[in-house]
Amino acid sequence: MPTLRPPSTTLETVVFVFFAALAVLGAFGTILSRNPIRAAVGLFVHIVALAALYLNLGAHFLGVIQLLVYAGAVVVLFVFVIMLLGPAANSPKDGRGIGSRGAALIGVAGIAAGLISTLQYVRLPLPERTDSFGTMNVVGSFLFKQGVIPFEMIGVTLVIAVVGAFAIARGKHERRALTDPDPTAPEKLAEGPEPDAKSAKKTAAKQSAEGHS
């Protein structure tokens, strides 16, 4: 392609072709496999191949961060959640008809045509690659000088999301536990004297256990 910087050495070309193929394979593995763990491993392969492509382009920091964040954290989290869900995470057989599949095919073809025509006719002003391109120093000073406000705002947004998730997931239980230590107690009392005796026994056992420890 004339608009893109051609790979400068044969080694770069070989690395590019190998990892580009691997990335496509991984992506297909992600969307085609019905077993969610296999899909996650396909994503892992895809991400590692992408990181290698970044390294090949000289974006060292981006490549390493790609591995660290996506392969090391996101995929591991996916696998962890899938393992916790167990067989419930298996996707059922795809029941969509030929119409929706054909529509998807046309959509994909349209996007591919758009991408190819863009690459053919649009000339991006690609700067010359310098020695310091993509190093931690350059990326870091850009992030913390020109891009400091968006960077900090993204950080605040993420913190808000985490705190919000906590409030939704844990908030009510915690509050109830604080005001009423045993929410099932009134129902137990209404049933009769038996549960009372049981709970008394329990407290006695608890006290003796505490006494021992």
Partner 1 sequence: MITGTTFWIATAIKVFAIVFGLVNLGAILLWVERRQSALIQDRMGPNRASIKLFGKEFRVAGLLHSAADGVKMLWKEDFVPPGADKLLYQLAPVISLVPPLCLFAVIPFGPSIYPDNLRRVFGSEGWNAAASYIPLHISMADSGILVVFAMASSGVLGAALAGSSSDNKFSLLGGIRAASQMVSYEVTMGLSLVGSFMVFQTVRLEQMVQWQVDHVWGIFVQPLAFILFFTAAVAETKRVPFDAPEGESEIVAGYFTEYQPMKMGMFALGELVEVMTSSALITTIFLGGWQFPFLKLDGFHLEMFGIAKPIVLSHLAVVIISAITFVVKVGLLVLLQMQIRWTLPRFRYDQIMKLGWRILLPASLINILLTGIVLLFVNAR
Burial bucket for residue 15 (CB in 10 Å: 0-12, 13-18, 19+): middle
Stretch that binds partner 1, among 38-46, 92-100, 154-162, 166-174 (CB under 8 A): 38-46
Question: Are the C-beta atoms of 5 and 62 separated by less than 8 Å?
Answer: no
- 52 interacts with partner 1 by CB under 8 A: no
By CB under 8 A, what part of segment 72-131 binds partner 1? Answer: 72-73, 75-77, 79-80, 82-84, 86
H or E stretch at 41 = helix 36-56
Taking residues 128 to 147 in sequence order and writing x for each that binds partner 1 by CB under 8 A, - otherwise, the string is -------xx-----------
Q: What is the CA radius of gyration of the chain?
A: 28
C-alpha 13 chain-centroid distance? 30
Q: At closest approach, how far in Å is the CB of 101 from partner 1? A: 27
Question: Are the C-beta atoms of 27 and 42 separated by less than 8 Å?
Answer: yes
The correct pick among 3, 13, 35, 100 for binding partner 1 (CB under 8 A) is: 35
Stretch that binds partner 1, among 34-42, 103-111, 162-170, 190-198 (CB under 8 A): 34-42
Q: At closest approach, how far in Å is the CB of 135 from partner 1? A: 5
**What residues contact residue 162 under an 8 Å CB cut-off, 6+ apart?**
none
Question: Are the C-beta atoms of 134 and 66 separated by less than 8 Å?
Answer: no
* Cβ-based nearer residue to partner 1, 25 or 119: 25
> Which residues contact partner 1 (rule: CB under 8 A)?
35, 37-38, 41, 44, 48, 60-61, 64-65, 67-68, 71-73, 75-77, 79-80, 82-84, 86, 135-136
